[in-house]
Structure 1
Amino acid sequence: MAVTHTNGFPRSFERKYIVKPLQDDSVGGDLEHSWSKRLALWAAVLTLANVVADLVIGSPMMVLPQLMEHFETDQAAWLNAGAMLAGAIWSPLLAKSSDIFGKRRALLITLLLACAGALICLLAPELWIFLVGRFFQGAAFAAVFLTVALTQQICKPTVAMALVGVLTSGSSVVGIIEPFLMQPIIESFGYRGVFAAGALLAVTAALGVRLFIPESPIRTGGRIDVVGALLLGGGLGTTLAYLSLGSAAGWLSGGMLALLAAGVTPLAGWMFLALRIDEPIIDIRALTRPVLLTLLALALAAGSFRSMLQLMGITTQVSPTLGLGYGLGGGDAIAALLGAANLGIVLGGVAAGWIAGRVGPALPLLGGIAVGTAATFGMLAGVSLLPLAIACGAMLGVAAGAIGASGYNLATSLEIPERQGMIAGLVSVMLALGSVVVNIVGGEVLKATRVSGLSVDAPVSTAAGVHLYITLAGVLFAVAAVPVIALSRNVFRYRKHRDGMPQQVRA
């Protein structure tokens, strides 16, 4: 007789098609089962925590010239990418810690680290001290996946999936108004105003989490593989640094090759260690085929979306009067495009979460990828027509919101609750990795098709180069649908198997 799981399904079938509820009544006795005032408060507090992450990554870009002048440096790339790279280093450690010690506790530590980092940046007299502050601020990158993993364990599945849609996209509302809020602060206090606001926001979010958010009911126990965390985090951060800086510094220059070696070597060491110890920081032996398919789809889709945002920023700086065959020139154009994209992210994330709570997250993920593919190819004409570009930008935002919310929901639903923190952290890392890699590939395409001899402030590329860029992004979007379709077929077969069982067995 086949050995069965607690829900009555053969273990061999579950191992092959790992599709299971996030948790049920056996997980904890006080799960939020419907929308209420308490859940609305949780949503507000956790969204505020995610706003901290957005502020850490995005707001310093508003004062980048002032930072370069104050610290007398031309290393804009390090000032720009430092927090994101630090986030890649922090994420594995914080993800594993959340499974062992609790998601709320890990989220509190994350926000306090972000606050401390902002204060260091605020007071830093030297560039190296400022970069230390950015390293601590980068811990805020983990806030998004920690709020997702926490939500999955304090709410019923249908409510959790809807709330995840709000959390992963709600901060985009702030993204629409952030420049208008930050500009008066920057004018009054200079670049330090950004970091003072970041510290205040982080400590406010931490107080909200401490006072109002319950702790996750599931802990794994065990210990943290500190060596593995350092190897994985350091390897990821250094490899991302190579990918981020290689285009400007030269991919094959001595310094860049040394940086690449400094990233690949610890990653190889981590993989060797993870296969030999019982409790690695990420148990790669436990990553099932459905989880790997999900991560692949998310990396491709996130990279495509981010690369299209990058292209929109470029095309808005090109005047149509240059006669290049594209151009949306004007400051109002970029504001309209980014505003439409941010609004689309909110709509897409909330809708995907609501749909996932009723039919599962695979369908809205596939729908988001389909919308993103259509919007990307629509930009072939949109690069020279502002109204069409705005419509495509809104659609890309809808796609990004749906992909982010559904990606977290799907990946965590494919894991046992004891490993949901780890897998949510892995989703964040893959989203960042996909974004960096595809942005770099697109940048290289534009560089290879650059137009010379024009008296313009910024370098421009040919229309053929821009169209090739868009085509590559669209193809990657379409390819991202392949693993999701394969996974959806497994889900369908699992449900068919389940529905064919007697009711008492399915219970």
Structure 2
Amino acid sequence: MQESRIGAGPHARWNGRLIGLVAVLVLVNFMVDTAITAPLLVLPEMLDHFGTDQTAWLNASAMLAGVMWAPLLGKSADVYGKRKVLVLTLLISCAGALVCAVAPSLWVFVPGRLLQGAAVAALFLSVAIVREICAPRIAMIVVGIVTSGSAVLNIGSRFLTEKLAAEFGFQILFLISAAVAIAMAICVRAVIPESLLKTPGRIDIGGALLLGGGLAGVLGYVSLGSEFGWLGLAPVVLLAGGAAALSRWVLVSSRKPDSLIDLRNIGAPLALTLLVLVLGTGSYQSMLQLIPLVSDVSADQGLGYGLAGQGTLALLLAAPGIGVMIGGPVAGMLATRVGPAMTLAGGIALGTVATLGMFLGVSQFPIAVFFAFLLGFTVGALGTSGFNLAGGLAPAERQGIVSSLVMVVIAIGSVVLDFVGAAVLKSTAVSVGGETVNSGTGVFTYITIASVAFAIAAVLVVMLVRKSRSSTKTPSLASL
């Protein structure tokens, strides 16, 4: 009975079974937060434990891995079934979390984060499942709930995990993530029906390795260049290797009939959507990385910023969670009236205002909480609108790979701006009382970069809205 539900027709209205499915998918995406975002709570502790200042590698390595995992698992979901691949994703993330929990050094911890990064795929696989089991109109709302509803749990978990980490060490967060991943794998297997709609094809593992490895090389250059010199041997080798891998990926992908991402057939609406998302979500993620760093510095140090002693970090990181919780469903409901392109534009406008507001927020706690909330609302609206807009450009049998494209650009944007921001902070650091700290110049330059990215996204989203209005029909991406 369970296996045939999807084939019986999509849900056109709310009912008990749909509510149960949505609840499980919301919990799945709560697991994604425990894997990707929760470690930000203990970022300073992890830096001290491993004796490193490589903030971006500790924070962004999981999202970096998501660039490789997303298209690989998205295509696998279309070929082998969405539920089966979602369960596999949860198990891989669990294994990575356990490696991180017992890692004796940074060189073991980072590979664990790369495995844990598979959790990124759980988000877009949930969206692909929703678009298959729901009629289009209700799907827009459900996508907003599924992608943002876990924020309800995140609000409480922020305070709990902060206390647990203080008592048992940062490793407890990874043990919790592993436990949640196992529990969700069992629930998905028991509750979510397997898709009956599958697409024959082969999985381009080599293409995924080239894409992920190439991006890792380029970003490794950005991360290490400020420490070893931009023309140092190791950074230049990383840059050359990464550029070569990415070039090879583009060349091979343009020729393979079963490539993970067919660059030749991405139309203008989807291309604009992806560019807006890579800039908008990347800016948000970089600001989220900045919050724990400025909250660890006191304003009394005279650096021009600092929130230490003004309030708890858990509240600062919970504020975006509240915003996400509201922004996602609101964007989904508005999309049924004005379309996802307009809701995406609204999200970008709010994000621009919120990022500019952080110029004041890095030194005044109440302002930081408000604009952190607004940033969360922004990312909830961007995620929901991006998935709804991109999903509408693909046929049912290609939802997995098209949804993965959204996750790929979200991961790329997050990783790039995280690394760029970390490099800026490192290159402008100053010594105060014998301790190296981030300078005010570095912090405000960091925020300026995020603000400029949002401004560029605003220009692109205006073009997208105009193109959407002028199109009577959205082109199909059946060849992806």
Bigger Rg over Cα: 1
Are the equivalent residues in 2 in contact too, given 1:91–1:233 (CA < 8 A)? Answer: no
Alignment of 1:338-353 (within 5 A): 338-353=317-332
* Alignment partner of 1:481 is 2:458: yes
126 and 437 in structure 1: CA distance in 2 versus 1, 3 angstrom threshold: closer
CA distance in structure 1 between the aligned counterparts of 2:438 and 2:293, rounded to whole angstroms: 8
For the residue of structure 1 that corresponds to 2:19, the secondary structure is: helix
The one-letter code matched in structure 1 to 2:152 is V
1:291 shift after superposition: 0.8
Task: Describe the shift of the 1:456–1:217 C-alpha distance in structure 2 as closer, same or farther (beyond 3 A).
Answer: farther
Deviation digits for residues 222-261 of structure 1 (CA, Å, limit 9, x no counterpart): 2222322332233234434444444445443222222222
The residue aligned with 2:129 is 150
Normalised by the size of structure 2, how large is the TM-score? 0.86
Match of 1:294 in 2: 273
Does residue 87 in structure 1 map to residue 63 in structure 2?
no
Residue type of the alignment partner of 1:475 = V
State the SS of the aligned residue for 2:149: helix
Aligned to 1:113: 92
Give the number of equivalent residue pairs: 468
CA distance in 2, matches of 1:329, 1:169: 29
The one-letter amino acid of 1:143's match is A
Q: 1:240 to 1:99 in 2, by over 3 A?
A: farther
C-alpha distance in 2 between matches for 1:195 and 1:330: 27
State the Cα distance separating 1:280 from its structure 2 match: 0.9
The answer as to whether partners of 1:45 and 1:205 remain within 8 angstroms in 2 is yes
The unaligned stretches of length 5 or more in structure 2 are: 1-5, 475-480
Post-superposition Cα deviations, 1:331-388, rounded to whole Å, max 9, x if no partner, equal 6153333222221111111211121233321111100111111222233344443333
For the Cα contact (< 8 Å) 1:110–1:143, is it kept in 2?
A: yes
CA distance in 2, matches of 1:58, 1:163: 22
Residues 29-63 of structure 1 show CA distances to partners (whole Å, capped at 9, x for unaligned) of: 42111222222211221122122222122445556
Amino acid at match of 1:218: L
Q: Which residue, 193, 198, 210 being the options, matches 1:231?
A: 210
Question: 1:492 maps to which residue?
Answer: 469
Q: Give yes or no for the alignment of 1:32 onto 2:11.
A: yes
Stretch moving more, 434-443 or 352-361: 434-443
SS of 1:332's equivalent in the other structure is coil
1:266 paired with 2:245, answer: yes
Q: Percent identity?
A: 48
Aligned mate of 1:459, from 437, 444, 462: 437
Stretch of structure 1 that moved more, 378-387 or 118-127? 118-127
Return the alpha-carbon distance in structure 2 between the equivalents of residues 170 and 480 of structure 1. 25
Deviation digits for residues 258-288 of structure 1, max 9, x if unmatched? Answer: 2222322222222111122211111111111
Letter in 2 for 1:479: I
**Aligned pair partner of 2:343 in 364, 367, 372:** 364
Question: Which aligned pairs between 1:146-295 and structure 2 lie closer than 5 A?
Answer: 146-183=125-162, 185-186=164-165, 190=169, 193-295=172-274
The normalised TM-score by structure 1 is 0.82
Give the distance between the partners of 1:422 and 1:136, measured in 2 at CA.
Answer: 20
| Aligned partner letter, 1:43 | V
Q: Which residue of 2 aligns with 1:6?
A: none
Cα 1:112–1:431 shift into 2, 3 Å: same
Which residue of the other structure, out of 384, 388, 396, is the alignment partner of 1:417?
Answer: 396
- Which one-letter code corresponds to 1:116 in the other structure? A
1:101 aligns with 2:80: yes
Q: Which residue of 1 aligns with 2:478?
A: none
The 3 A distance-change label for structure 1 pair 66 and 344 is closer
Equivalences for 1:322-337 in 2 at 5 Å?
322-330=301-309, 332=311, 334-337=313-316
Higher alpha-carbon deviation: 52-61 or 404-413: 52-61
Note if contact 1:52-1:198 (Cα within 8 Å) is conserved in structure 2. yes
Question: Cα gap change, 1:307/1:456 in structure 2, threshold over 3 Å: closer, same or farther?
Answer: farther
Indicate conservation of the 8 Å contact 2:64/2:411, yes or no: no
The CA distance in 1 between the partners of 2:24 and 2:226, in whole Å, is: 39
* Worse-superposed segment, 307-316 or 220-229: 307-316
- 2:30 paired with 1:45: no
SS of the residue corresponding to residue 28 of structure 2 reads helix
- 2: CA distance between counterparts of 1:172 and 1:480? 25
| C-alpha RMSD of the superposition | 3.1
Q: Is the 8 A contact 2:60 2:414 kept in 1?
A: no
